[in-house]
Amino acid sequence: MKRKVEDYIKSVFASNHEVMSNPTCYIYDLEEVTDRINEINNFKLANVSLYYAMKANPNKDILRHVLANSGITGVEIASIGELNIARAAGLESASKVLFTGPGKTTVELNEAVKEKIRFINVESVVEAIRINAIAEEEDIEKVNVLLRVNINYFLDGAFEYMAGMSTKMGIDQSRFYEDYEIISKLDHINVCGFHVFAADGVLDYQILLKYIDFVFKFVKEAEQVVGNIDVIDFGGGFGIDYTKSNRYFDVKAYFEGLKFAIEKYSFEKKEFILELGKYIVGSAGYYATRIVDIKECKGMKHIVTAGGVNHMRLPIATDRKHPVYVINMEIPKLYNEQIEVSNEIVDIEGPLCMTEDKISWDEPIEHASIGDIVVLTQSGAYCYSASTLWFLSHQLPLELII
């Protein structure tokens, strides 16, 4: 954990009245967000557009910061609610928006069509027919869409899979031409390209490059039937390391490999889209919560914190722990025999009335006392907004910005 973040956490927990009365918070380092965006833009190709996948973290301060960065083309949303949040954070035009997701309602599609979002990601024939009907009713000549294809390729080595297997995502490649024939005949639908997001949490760039080669073969073959395709949207996929082993996604090597593939298939005139969320904000976030109690039961110690899975659900939901640090706050003991942790394996659990309420488990802790602060790093993506925040109606964690 960075020294400036540790110092900031110690400071706010020691002196900030709001944090002292609500001893749980998320902290976001905007400098880290900028570093990740700059890293991508330092190496990406001219025909690659970078969109922020705001499902990763819709915090308005983060959104304002991201939208103000010249390296970001726009935002990718998965609901009209996200569109409204983006607008409130300073989004200037819906023409900078991609709308994805497998279950868009008619109400959402109606607003997306009327707002002239840049691309709606079409997941099925049914969705295309609904969009076409809305466009006809609104007297809109054409709606630009990307067809999401569930490619027949299992991208082994990822954390989460969305293609190459039976999922709700996209049009099965095995029936793509059949469905395309129906969609292409709709008067108000303009198919601009394909959306081929297959998997998330990939740390080995070579895995994504092998998938890209498979996709490019499919696109080359498809163009013989459907004509020229201008846009290929890869979705996300860049992973971050949730351990302390300092693994990282090699951005430079990825774009070098992508350039080679583009030249190999003569795709220089196409636009390629990346929808990155976790990679941009994941490592910029920290969840911090005060230790309320330490107990020993049946031969094992338990650290009890002010916040649990109601605030930080991702580790237990995915069975993937985050790096854990304990910041010593030098709080005096309440009595001489008060239990502490010293070079022991413990579970770190929240205040909820359920044994599954763990933010880490089997965790080696060098030292911890009541009043210290437990910090989970890599907590900027799919953490605050993906948690069961209102369960048992505890105070919501604060969101603070460095």
CATH number for the domain spanning 315: value is 2.40.37.10
Q: Does residue 287 share a domain with residue 261? A: no
Q: Does residue 222 share a domain with residue 344? A: no
pLDDT tens figures, 334-386: 999 999 999 999 999 999 999 999 999 999 999 999 999 999 999 999 999 99
Q: Does residue 233 share a domain with residue 198? A: yes
Q: Does residue 144 share a domain with residue 120? A: yes
Q: Does residue 124 share a domain with residue 268? A: yes
Per-residue pLDDT of the chain (402 residues; tens, 9 = 90+): 789 999 999 999 998 777 778 899 999 999 999 999 999 999 999 999 999 999 999 999 999 999 999 999 999 999 999 999 999 999 999 999 999 999 999 999 999 999 999 999 999 999 999 999 999 999 999 999 999 999 886 566 545 545 555 777 789 988 999 999 999 999 999 999 999 988 778 999 999 999 999 999 999 999 999 999 999 999 999 999 999 888 999 999 999 999 999 999 999 999 999 999 999 999 999 999 999 999 999 989 999 999 999 999 999 999 999 999 999 999 999 999 999 999 999 999 999 999 999 999 999 999 999 999 999 999 999 999 999 999 999 999 999 999
CATH number for the domain spanning 145: value is 3.20.20.10
The SS3 assignment for 72 reads coil
List helix spans (H) across 16-105. Answer: 17-21, 30-43, 60-67, 80-88
Q: How far apart are CA 258 and CA 269, in angstroms?
A: 14
N-term to C-term CA, the chain? 14
Q: How far apart are CA 258 and CA 268, in angstroms?
A: 11
Residue 341 covered by a domain: yes
Q: How far apart are CA 74 and CA 39, in angstroms?
A: 17
Whole-model pTM: value is 0.94
Q: Does residue 364 share a domain with residue 346? A: yes
Q: Of the candidates 276, 301, 330, which is a domain's last residue?
A: 276
Q: Does residue 204 share a domain with residue 154? A: yes
Contacts with 361 (C-beta within 8 Å, 6 or more apart), sequence order: 321, 347, 348
Q: Does residue 238 share a domain with residue 219? A: yes
Residue 226 covered by a domain: yes
The pLDDT score that the predictor gives to residue 27 is 97
Torsion over CA: 107, 188, 184, 220 (sign)? negative
Q: Does residue 378 share a domain with residue 287? A: yes
Residue 54 covered by a domain: no
The pLDDT score that the predictor gives to residue 19 is 79
The pLDDT score that the predictor gives to residue 155 is 61
What proportions of the chain, in percent to the nearest 5, are helix, strand and coil? 35, 25, 40
Residue 73 covered by a domain: no
Q: How many domains does the chain have?
A: 2
Residue 386 covered by a domain: yes
Residue 32 covered by a domain: no
Q: Does residue 324 share a domain with residue 261? A: no
Domain residues for the domain of 395 are: 3-27+283-401
Q: Of the candidates 253, 276, 299, which is a domain's last residue?
A: 276
Partners of 190 in beta bridges? 144
The pLDDT score that the predictor gives to residue 204 is 93
How many residues comprise the chain?
402
Residue 294 covered by a domain: yes
Q: Does residue 253 share a domain with residue 164? A: yes
Q: Of the candidates 276, 297, 326, which is a domain's last residue?
A: 276
Residue 67 covered by a domain: no
Could you write out the DSSP letters of every residue in 246-261? -----HHHHHHHHHHH
Q: Does residue 226 share a domain with residue 101? A: yes
